Structure 1
Amino acid sequence: MSTAETLAAEVLKTGTLEGLPDGHFIDGQFSRPSHNQSMESFDPGRGEAFASFAAGTKADVDQAVESARRAFENVWRDMAPVERTRILQRASGLILENMARLAVAESLDSGKPLNEALGDVRGAARCFEYYAGACDKLQGDSFPLGPDYLGYSIHEPVGVTAHIIPWNYPISTTARGLAPALAAGCTVVAKPAEQTPFTALLLAEILTKAGLPDGVCNVVTGTGAEVGAPLTSHPDVDHITFTGSVATGQAVMSAAAREVTRVVLELGGKSPVVVLDDCDREKAMEGVMGAIFENAGQICSAGSRLVIERGIHDDFVEELVRRTRPLRLGHGLRNPDVGPVNSASHLEKIAGFVDRARSAGAEIATGGSVTTDPDTGKGWFFEPTIIDRAAPSDEVVREEIFGPVLTVQVADDADHALELANDCQYGLVAGIYSSDFSKANRLARRIDAGQIFINEYFAGGVEVPFGGNKKSGFGREKGIEGLKSYCKTKSIAARIG
């Protein structure tokens, strides 16, 4: 067995991972919360608590922001870019050295299969590697003002940045926000989701071991009300990066408006996978299944709507159902095909969507029920589900379910598929499967989404900007665009003649 599998086997026996942090990470070290209270973190695969962590308060947020401000003004913003490069590069290497422990912690905390968690850790390391290479390449412009003037611009770090991290991809989302912020010269206060606090804390510790000065990266754990709200409304925070629901994003945006704080919002989606009758059906089949059943469908950019041409609908859906029914459910550390959903409350939400659809007469082609780990009878699981021939007005088509539930919409042709794809309040991503590359690119231009995948869902990587349109939010993460989110442009014009 690999190191990760060996550690996973030990955790399955003991029910916990030894040595997990139980305090905030502030000013370069772990510290107890101000009122010395804690919360439990639950293993979704068992539905049982496995560890506790600090329950933060506004006082803890104030301490973390003060530490970040001090580090920004006294150390980090003026550090030579090449020195920031070296620290982030070392961090990337240390993430890989600690990959097994990070992946097991991620799987245990979030529920996702271990192989998926290992991929997330590799992606986090790559994120720091990518932005390490960008630190000393933030170049400004010069302006042609004539022989008597010198005009130029420089990119300056925005200052103290707040990061509100979701529970579905804890280490991935932490890395994609922290790495560019640190590369730009900003300091960080991160608030991980209360369901999944541990990898953000472990990552902050790794950054310190890589040489990050004290106070540059701080992590405060706790609830949205006690930690998230004070952080997003803090007058000494210069920028907020938020990933989560539309409703919470609106509250964050409102709080930011009061202090005129910059924001990047990624608020989820209801993304279409358009499958045309000229597609490579095997590639399309694999893409559709991965798009909805990876991480039990708990992905902002999940391909949760299959929009398929009528001519291939029957055969395609029949095969899709045939491949879906034998998918193995189980505890994430046992590497199932599909793991649990993250919490009891979220399981109830998913079940509510499907139950209402069933009551309204929806065609449930497969799945559709709450279940448990077949090995233990425990955990928060929902069967991989396909709802066929859904109408555009159906709730399961229009609302984000955030679970292993695929809705199928039938299109008459490519133009109708475009109409169905765009008939949505969200606009995060979309997938297109077609052997006609010209047709696929025409669709890609006309679908209203921030990122389009052609003939491979989830194509790309940290190099490709990511973010949404419409109610999926605004701003971009990843790529050089993501780095610019943490910069402010200063223009300078001088008379020299």
Structure 2
Amino acid sequence: MQSKQELVALALSAGTLPGLPQGHFIDGASSTAASGRSMESFDPGRAAPFAVFARGDAGDVEAAVGSARRAFEQTWRDTPAAARGRILQRAAELIREETARLAVVESLDSGKPLAEAEGDVRGAARAFEYYAGACDKLQGDTFPLGPDYLGYSLHEPVGVAAQIIPWNFPISTAARGIAPALAAGCAVVAKPAEQTPFTALLLAELLKRAGLPDGVLNVVTGTGAEAGAPLVAHPGIDHVTFTGSVATGIGVMKAAADNVTRVVLELGGKSPVIVLADCDRKAALDGVMGAIFENAGQICSAGSRLIVERSLHDGFVEDLCRRAEALRLGHALREPQMGPVNSDTQLGRIAGFIDRARARGVDVATGGAETADPESGQGWFYRPTIVDDCAPDDELVREEIFGPVLTVQIAEDAQHALALANDSQYALVAGVYTADFAKAHRLAARLDAGQVYINEYFAGGIEVPFGGNKKSGFGREKGLEGLLSYCRTKSIAARI
């Protein structure tokens, strides 16, 4: 097994890694696209292709769903819970053993710094470990119907679950959906984003090595229009978990409605970070920086709105600007503090937001320009950007940018901060920094968000349910609540 250093050196010198899967993963084996077509995946740090993979369509989806249905009905749903747990636990161990390779592939494919990719791989392993332990704890209830009756409920696997995986967190999002689905006894057909297909394919190979029966997990690669749309509209799909944009999520929901297919939607965000004057200033600065500049701001739950109390505003924003300007940018495998954005399309979208803001006379305090890897002059990079004192109705406050752009709003006090925070079409997460614990929890109770972080942004882990309200979607992933997403409850009442 090659070390991380060897893999990084190879990837930087060759521009790729050998042995990457090029086909779909269907019925336990690699499979070429039915059409024979393929497409390229790009290294965002070089703005150049580094590998090819299968370009799937409805024919490949049909094969994958059929394989999943057979595996579910003939094998997996009747596999004892403890046996399912052992397979998932072995998968967690294999993911940890393969951390270096998975992380390097993730960095090449997504552009995120290697340290962040390694964290994502560790999180994926933890997800399989967590749900491995939950397999044989999934139990129903009994109902007190009196001495002449027996009443009880069962949690049954819903069937074949589709997973539509985004490009910003490919392996960790795949794991947080696939692991609970398998734990519940479902079979899965996964469709990773066309920008980042490889770690989902590698994950499927690892699960086969862990003992997962053929067909229980299938991966179809290709575009959203050609592979994703036929998957979510397929009548053989019993559940869809989708992570992505609001517009695409609405389309997924409409397509699923034709077959009355249940859905979990994790959509966009414009998450506020409330920083009050009595906060731990250093912790708040650290938290705000990580909330917006990790993964170059390409996170649904990024803290993209700073709502800061007026008495703290001037010095706090000045310090943020200095920190942002000092961030070291570069290719993901050179251990930068911030990497590129994922695609030329995304780079253009981010630049468009800032160009329009400048035309409106908005104060771009720092950043606000495209750039490149300082070592190679290549890649899709955007400078860390802070836009100060934004009006509540400004486009930068209202719309998700999905890039390294922080918009600043000024609050007069905690209640004003709460009103600003809730004035959004999104409600995914929120952050609060204050030394007043009672105030923090009063705010948490009133914030419209699926999850609230207090004094540490991105606090929590796989144990904590995650999902949004409003246009951020509905349903929950992670935690035991995420496991129940893949179950249907059957109630039984008998006269005895």
Give the SS at the match of 2:338.
coil
Note the alpha carbon deviations across 1:338-369, whole angstroms, 9 max, x for none: 10000001100000001101110111111000
Equivalent-residue separation in structure 1 for 2:362 and 2:215 (angstroms)? 53
1:244 aligns with 2:247: no
1:465 aligns with 2:465: yes
Equivalent-residue separation in structure 2 for 1:460 and 1:358 (angstroms)? 37
Q: Which amino acid in 2 is paired with 1:214? A: D
Give the SS at the match of 2:326.
coil
Give the SS at the match of 1:72.
helix
Q: Which residue of 2 aligns with 1:9?
A: 9
Equivalent-residue separation in structure 1 for 2:301 and 2:199 (angstroms)? 22
Q: How does 1:371-450 map to 2 (within 5 A)?
A: 371-450=371-450
The alpha carbon displacement at 1:5 in A equals 3.0
Q: Which residue of 2 aligns with 1:151?
A: 151
Structure 2 unpaired stretches of 5+: none
Equivalent-residue separation in structure 1 for 2:322 and 2:186 (angstroms)? 50
Equivalent-residue separation in structure 2 for 1:221 and 1:22 (angstroms)? 9
Equivalent-residue separation in structure 1 for 2:331 and 2:98 (angstroms)? 22
Equivalent-residue separation in structure 1 for 2:3 and 2:116 (angstroms)? 15
Note the alpha carbon deviations across 1:65-89, whole angstroms, 9 max, x for none: 0000000000000000000010000
Q: Which residue of 2 aligns with 1:279?
A: 279
Equivalent-residue separation in structure 2 for 1:207 and 1:437 (angstroms)? 44
Equivalent-residue separation in structure 2 for 1:436 and 1:45 (angstroms)? 43
Q: Which residue of 2 aligns with 1:162?
A: 162
The alpha carbon displacement at 1:430 in A equals 0.2
Q: Which residue of 2 aligns with 1:340?
A: 340
Equivalent-residue separation in structure 2 for 1:451 and 1:172 (angstroms)? 18
1:73 aligns with 2:65: no
Give the SS at the match of 1:259.
coil
RMSD of Structure 2 on Structure 1 (CA):
0.6
Note the alpha carbon deviations across 1:14-61, whole angstroms, 9 max, x for none: 000110000000000001110111000000000000000000010000
**Dislocated runs of 4+, deviation >6 Å:** none
Give the SS at the match of 1:133.
helix
Q: How does 1:10-49 map to 2 (within 5 A)?
A: 10-49=10-49
Q: Which amino acid in 1 is paired with 2:27? A: D
Q: Which amino acid in 1 is paired with 2:257? A: A
Note the alpha carbon deviations across 1:268-312, whole angstroms, 9 max, x for none: 200000000000000000000000000000000000000000000
Q: Which amino acid in 2 is paired with 1:131? A: Y
Q: How does 1:80-99 map to 2 (within 5 A)?
A: 80-99=80-99
The alpha carbon displacement at 1:10 in A equals 1.4
The alpha carbon displacement at 1:130 in A equals 0.1
Q: Which residue of 2 aligns with 1:203?
A: 203
Give the SS at the match of 1:293.
helix
The alpha carbon displacement at 1:3 in A equals 2.4
Equivalent-residue separation in structure 2 for 1:454 and 1:210 (angstroms)? 38
Equivalent-residue separation in structure 1 for 2:9 and 2:412 (angstroms)? 50
Equivalent-residue separation in structure 1 for 2:358 and 2:18 (angstroms)? 44
Note the alpha carbon deviations across 1:382-425, whole angstroms, 9 max, x for none: 00000000100100010000000000000000000000000000
Q: Which residue of 2 aligns with 1:491?
A: 491
Give the SS at the match of 1:134.
helix
Equivalent-residue separation in structure 1 for 2:370 and 2:412 (angstroms)? 34
Equivalent-residue separation in structure 1 for 2:315 and 2:97 (angstroms)? 46
Relative to the length of structure 2, the TM-score reads 0.99
Give the SS at the match of 2:60.
helix
Q: Which residue of 2 aligns with 1:133?
A: 133
The alpha carbon displacement at 1:6 in A equals 2.8
Equivalent-residue separation in structure 1 for 2:4 and 2:134 (angstroms)? 31
1:171 aligns with 2:183: no
Equivalent-residue separation in structure 2 for 1:391 and 1:416 (angstroms)? 14
Relative to the length of structure 1, the TM-score reads 0.99
Q: Which residue of 2 aligns with 1:119?
A: 119
Structure 1 unpaired stretches of 5+: none
Q: Which residue of 2 aligns with 1:255?
A: 255
Give the SS at the match of 1:131.
helix
The alpha carbon displacement at 1:108 in A equals 0.1
Q: Which residue of 2 aligns with 1:185?
A: 185
Give the SS at the match of 1:77.
helix
Equivalent-residue separation in structure 2 for 1:139 and 1:98 (angstroms)? 33
1:110 aligns with 2:107: no
Equivalent-residue separation in structure 2 for 1:380 and 1:9 (angstroms)? 21
